[in-house]
Chain A
């Protein structure tokens, strides 16, 4: 089976812009979770989608949003980018409530 894929791998944006990141889960997995990793805050949960529904959300401002499509692919969007949004964004897929498999990540730099 192919692993979790994320696009793009690298992204450079300027403050105030918006960005959309994409995640394709492992075939057959219906749960997709998103995490942000920064040197200061570590790995933090953003949100989780299951069958196109957001089931859980972390403690992030409303500028961070996401969605899941009927084929389980997911996108996350960050609007009005701030310098502090520079981070590695990781998505994970899971078949059920056990092992989560992570993609390679999208490294976002906000200038």
Chain B
């Protein structure tokens, strides 16, 4: 089955800095999502992005499906951006998301 790898595993930033999180997947996908897990455990949808580029405020994402990777950009980071970011891919039919191990982001004031 499809494998999803995220890098870096941990990231420490000063408030105001920019960052790029990467997600590599081993096969073609028809669903690629980015999530932010809040301190209470809920997965918050950031982007549904099987291909192309999307932006939402300070966050943007790009998926290059032909090269099997996706990038999440966080600009002007804030302490509230801290937490774990997951990408998840779906390959083939049905709603079985395969998650990466996550990137743990800590933003310090």
Contacts and interface: CB of A to CB of B under 8 A. Distances in A.
Interface of A: 31, 33, 35, 37, 42-45, 48, 50, 55-56, 58, 88, 90, 92, 94, 97-105, 107
A107 B41 contact: yes
B33 A100 contact: yes
A9 to B, nearest CB: 9
A42 B96 contact: no
A67 B53 CA distance: 37
A101 B102 contact: no
30 contacts: A33-B96, A35-B97, A35-B99, A42-B101, A43-B88, A43-B99, A44-B99, A45-B98, A50-B94, A50-B95, A56-B94, A56-B95, A56-B96, A90-B41, A92-B97, A94-B95, A97-B90, A97-B95, A98-B31, A98-B48, A99-B33, A99-B48, A100-B97, A101-B45, A102-B35, A102-B45, A104-B40, A104-B42, A105-B40, A107-B41
B86 A43 contact: yes
Main secondary structure of the interface of A (DSSP, over half): strand
B93 interface: yes
A83 B17 CA distance: 41
A24 B96 CA distance: 18
Interface of B: 30-31, 33, 35, 40-43, 45, 48, 86, 88, 90, 93-99, 101-102
A55 B43 contact: no
A31 B96 CA distance: 11
A37 B43 CA distance: 11
Contacts of B45: 99, 101-102
B42 A105 contact: yes
A92 to B, nearest CB: 7
A42 B41 contact: no
Given A42-B99, A97-B30, A90 B43 contact: yes
Given A90-B41, A98-B31, A99-B33, 17 more contacts: A33-B95, A35-B97, A35-B99, A43-B86, A44-B99, A45-B97, A48-B94, A48-B95, A50-B94, A56-B94, A56-B95, A88-B41, A92-B95, A92-B97, A102-B35, A103-B42, A105-B40
